[in-house]
């Protein structure tokens, strides 16, 4: 199996990046660049690189790292993820795991998607709130 299709690979790399953040930020930057590259190469077929980038960013925000995405870029990537992979049943759970303190914004995104006709999210939104 290709390791880039196995989310355990990403989770291991995310954990290592968080551990190395204070001593080797250059390696974390390299991993971020690799995630960007993988997303560019495989983003239409694989959701793992973008989800991993969002998960890593949560850790960077929690550690007040200057490597964290700016809020507008983070929101753009979440919307991109939702638009591309929204037909998958696990998308809300996946995003819940990486939003951290941004739950209100994700709730607003869900409400917007419901207003656009994705009524299947109504129950999920009730559970989310």
pLDDT per residue rounded down to tens, the chain (129 residues): 466 667 888 999 999 999 999 999 999 999 999 999 999 998 788 889 999 999 999 899 889 999 999 989 999 999 899 888 876 667 888 888 888 888 888 888 888 877 877 666 666 666 666
Nearest in space to 55 (alpha carbons), one of 2, 108, 9? 9
What pLDDT does residue 1 have?
A: 47
What pLDDT does residue 126 have?
A: 63
Nearest in space to 90 (alpha carbons), one of 102, 80, 81? 81
Nearest in space to 94 (alpha carbons), one of 119, 128, 45, 117? 128
């Amino acid at each position: 199996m290709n390791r880039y299709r196995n989310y355990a690979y990403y989770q291991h790399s995310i954990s290592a990046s968080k551990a190395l953040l204070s001593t080797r930020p250059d390696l974390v930057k390299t991993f971020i660049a690799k995630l960007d590259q993988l997303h560019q190469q495989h983003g239409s077929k694989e959701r793992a690189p973008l989800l991993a980038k969002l998960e890593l960013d949560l850790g960077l925000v929690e550690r007040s790292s200057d490597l964290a995405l700016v809020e507008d870029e983070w929101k753009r990537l979440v919307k991109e993820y939702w638009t591309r992979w929204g037909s998958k049943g696990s998308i809300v759970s996946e995003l819940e795991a990486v939003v951290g303190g941004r739950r209100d914004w994700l709730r607003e995104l869900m409400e917007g998607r419901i207003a656009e006709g994705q009524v299947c999210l109504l129950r999920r939104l009730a559970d989310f709130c």
